[in-house]
Structure 1
Amino acid sequence: MRLTAEIARDLMTPGPYSIADVATVEQATAFLTDRGFGAAVAIDLAGHPVGVVTKTDLLVHARERDAKITTEPGTVRDVMTPAVFSVREETTARSVVEQLITLNVHHLFVVDRTGVVVGVISPMDVVRRLV
């Protein structure tokens, strides 16, 4: 098999969605499931990325709530991963794949030269470019 992409821009799905870090867990669950997303960038009130909320984060929260570890409804900020793993648009496709594996993540966000998130890459995006 051969990857038919040279750089991250070739692999990415453009225009990733974001969700406010103050949104409730219930809102985040609806947001991801209604759109069929596995993750979204969490942004603060100024619009800066502050983390990533994933379906896994939401499942862990639900399990803890069911086990009565927490009874708080919670916000995205309470359950998100407080890091945004990202690559630049011009990062090589090979490096993107290596980072997905090394970091053991399912989403790498793509940023432009100014640091604005412009895309997202998942393992499925990579698989789609294999021939």
Structure 2
Amino acid sequence: MRAVDIMTRTVITVGPGTTVREAARLLADNHISGAPVVDDEGRLLGMLTEGDLLHRTEIGTEARRRSWWLELFSSTQDLAATYIKENARLVRDVMTPEVITVKETTPVREIADLLERHRIKRVPVLYDGELLGIVSRANLVKALASAPKEAGVKLVAADQSIREAVLGELSGHRWAVPAENVIVNEGTVHLWGVVTSPEQARAMCIAAERVQGVKGVEDHTDAPVMIPAM
């Protein structure tokens, strides 16, 4: 499997001129812990994560002030950077500009190693500097949950062909889940994601069953979580 096989293609992004408050609301509303920062052409500029918003003066979580003698030995650059993180209004000032990225052809094994080694939760997938998608730990977990006990090179190639055919069958239908939620292993199609009705889930199963070579379809979809009003 490669990044393109499991990545999330519909990515929530923010612009460098977005305010920190607006960006925080976007993360909270979409239940995500980070988002790529892109320019008007879709090129990656950095990442904004929960960690970048951890210490803020608005909520009284700014970093504890060091003793005067520790500050004496701290560089003015470090002290200024801390102040910016705690007080800046715009995403461009608080985002992490150095971002670890992968290509669409990067094997998932390498992606897992990157996530573990750098202790990060997601990596953007780029093609010629442009954001194509994102691979998160959740994407890897979905792939693992659908994985066969054994898989050979020929089988993987066949599964990729089946997956492309299933995606073609689902293409153009509003009720279809995004491509990253379709995984094929040993000829069995695994469907993930959130659906709003049993009919939506059944329609996707039928579409997958129509594809030649499909041995079976497993429906892992779920209904949206309803949060009661306070």
TM category (shorter chain) comes to 0.7 to 0.9
The equivalences for 1:55-94 within 5 A come to 55-61=50-56, 62=59, 63-64=61-62, 70=83, 72-94=87-109
Once residues 106 and 37 of structure 2 are traced to their aligned partners in structure 1, the CA distance between those partners, rounded to angstroms, is 23
Q: Structure 2, unaligned stretches of length 5 or more?
A: 66-81, 146-230
Q: Percent identity?
A: 30
Question: What secondary structure is seen at the aligned counterpart in 1 of 2:24?
Answer: helix
> Which of 3, 22, 36 is matched with 2:31 structurally?
36
Say whether residues 1:25 and 2:20 are aligned partners.
yes
Structure scoring higher RCO (CA < 8 A, sep ≥ 6) equals: 1
Contact 1:41–1:84 at 8 Å: present in 2 too? no
- 26-35 or 76-85, which deviates more: 76-85
Deviation of the 1:47 alpha carbon? 4.3
Contact 2:42–2:131 at 8 Å: present in 1 too? no
Deviation of the 1:51 alpha carbon? 0.7
The CA RMSD over aligned residues, in Å, is: 2.3
Contact 2:123–2:135 at 8 Å: present in 1 too? yes
Once residues 96 and 124 of structure 1 are traced to their aligned partners in structure 2, the CA distance between those partners, rounded to angstroms, is 12
Deviation of the 1:91 alpha carbon? 0.5
TM superposition score normalised by structure 1: 0.82
Deviation of the 1:73 alpha carbon? 5.0
Report the number of matched residues: 124
Once residues 84 and 16 of structure 1 are traced to their aligned partners in structure 2, the CA distance between those partners, rounded to angstroms, is 16
Which residue number in structure 1 is paired with residue 43 of structure 2? 48
Compared CA separation, residues 8 and 46, structure 1 to 2 (3 A): closer
Deviation of the 1:12 alpha carbon? 0.9
- 85-94 or 54-63, which deviates more: 54-63
The answer to which structure has the higher helix fraction is: 2
